[in-house]
Chain A
Amino acid sequence: MSILAGDLLNPAPVSTLREALDRIGGKSDVWLTVHAGVNRQTFGGAVLSRLARCWARSLREAGVQRGDRVALLLPNDIPFVAAFFGCQYLGAVPVPLAWPVSLLDLNRVLDSLGPLVANAAPRVIVTTPAVASMKPFGLPAVVAPHPVPARGLVAPAKDDPAFIQYTSGSLGRPRGVVITQQAAVASAWSMGQALGVGRQDVGVSWLPLFHDMGLVGGLLCPLLYRFPLHLMSPGEFLLHPRRWLRLISEEKGTVATAPDFAYALCARRVKDLAGLDLSSWRHALSGSEPVHRSTLDAFAEQFAPTGFSARALKPVYGLAENTLGVCFGDGEEPDAEWQGRTICSVGRPIPGMEVQISESGEVLVRGPSRMTVYFRDPEATARTVRDGWLHTGDLGFICDGRLYLTGREKDLVIQNGRKFHPYDIERIAAAAVDAMPNGAAAFADADEALVVVVETREQLDDVEKRVRGELMAALGVRPSRVVQVGLGELPRTSSGKLRRNACVERFT
């Protein structure tokens, strides 16, 4: 089995996130700018460090001690960043929770986070006053920093956890990826080395901070390399995709990352190119969902008149279990043909990372940013980390020193950058039509559209409406097709387990 290895990883200048924040320093230099509409707020390293210690004080007064988990349920704004680092000053472990685009259905959002919060068992939750008034999870809520910074703070060791990143584990069994200080630093440092970034670079990000790509790629990489970051919210990007591009244009952004759907959205929605200059954008990374050549081409063509270079578009591969980055493209990957499909390469391993393909075709990863354990889940940990190698669950092959992904985390359904376990979708779809709990199948077709098949006792007229309504309400996911079949028509194994691969063949 041949191993594909990245360059040697240079030693990072710090060993913990706290040291990284302290190193930003500077009384007058702006490091972070938060944009909301026409408003902007700027923060230098020293100001941010002081604010983080103010949060540390309010957290400590709420009873948070070293090693305690602290749930963060906050939008992409300064409280998230400052409270995240406030935890670092206490040696506490932030647990970012998914902040919804709309708060209309807050009760449902909180319900869906319940199993995750139960697993993480945080001491407190940091959130907005509006959410705190609903007494989420019965936890004490911290909503504001103390006016006076804390003193007598701790210095976390490199093996201490830096944060816990929950992944799209099945709703019943959320999995918290424990990332150590060392892994967090190594991941951000490796990605920056792969891109060759330095203090002259400028980051522009709308990616959610509760997600690995927004947190590690968006926030921590600029932190480690001390280049300025312009932050906006996912909701604002979705509502005004042009504002992301305008921000890159105005701030001469060099690094900005997004999933495939976001590049497609920009190519589709942003027609007014007047005043846009995207010539500074050197690293337009596309990650977190399958990368389509058609999207890259459409984006490059649409924005060529703004000076945007097609070579800036780089497919990348990462996963929360490796903190983030595994392979990065360099903008010149050849495509591969595989089973009648064109597949974009996700490039070569970034510094410090090694990749190999197992006998079964699974992508295995080894390197300094690997997770230690799934929080309180030794069985899942033992399945995922074996002999030092991370078993990603992704399928792929290596060709000419580059990695190609052919299937993403077996059975997982990805919609608009969000990942769903078919089991969760099936459970809800079956309940929607009063079918048996195992009487539904959910899977993605060749175009990654979600198909749901339900077994019903008799022909129902409103199956599509019921299934779609319940799935939208409970998970916010929209099936592109709902198929109704009779009892026993779903392909199953002899032991009664659903055969999703057979479903894909039969129903698409």
Chain B
Amino acid sequence: MITPQAQEDRVRQILSDLTNVPPADIRAGDRLREDLGLDSVGSMELLSMLAEEFDIDVEMEEAAAVADVAGLMALARRHLG
């Protein structure tokens, strides 16, 4: 079982890989679109990578509702319990 901290670090790393923003500069309040520069295709790729990384099944409605880093972390927590 992955610890919440390790999980958060992993999410941050994936985000960083996609956006080229250093992990330490990614804040919970950052919006995926306006602050991190992910377009709709990029956001979906991000969620798709998360789904694969943690072996979780994210559905469209849920994915489309994620707007910021906090939402992303919450989604990962929900699925990983």
Contact = CB atoms under 8 A, between A and B. Distances in A.
A103 B60 CA distance: 11
Interface in A256-300: 261, 265, 269
A241 B33 CA distance: 21
B4 interface: no
A469 B64 contact: no
A476 B47 CA distance: 17
B48 A241 contact: yes
B34 A238 contact: no
Contacts of A465: 35
Contact of A415 (B39, B49, B64): B39
Interface string B42-75: 1111011101100000111001110100000000
Contacts of B43: 101-102
A477 interface: yes
A238 B44 CA distance: 6
Contacts of B63: 235, 239
Contact of B41 (A103, A238, A473): A238
A425 B80 CA distance: 40
A415 B43 CA distance: 14
A478 interface: yes
Interface size class of B (residues with CB under 8 A): 20 to 34
Nearest to A36: B60
A46 to B, nearest CB: 30
A36 B42 CA distance: 21
A103 B41 CA distance: 14
Contact of A468 (B37, B40, B42, B65): B37
A100 interface: yes
A37 interface: yes
A101 B64 contact: yes
Contacts of A100: 40
B34 A478 contact: no
B48 A478 contact: no
Contacts of B41: 101, 238, 261, 416
B64 to A, nearest CB: 4
Given A104-B67, A235-B64, A239-B63, A476 B58 contact: no
Given A37-B59, A101-B43, A235-B60, 6 more contacts: A37-B60, A102-B65, A239-B47, A415-B39, A469-B34, A472-B34
29 contacts: A36-B60, A37-B60, A101-B64, A102-B40, A102-B43, A104-B64, A104-B67, A105-B33, A235-B63, A235-B64, A236-B60, A238-B41, A238-B48, A239-B44, A239-B58, A239-B60, A239-B63, A240-B51, A241-B48, A269-B45, A269-B48, A269-B49, A416-B41, A465-B35, A469-B34, A472-B33, A472-B38, A478-B37, A478-B39
Interface of A: 36-37, 100-105, 233, 235-236, 238-241, 261, 265, 269, 415-416, 465, 468-469, 472-473, 476-478
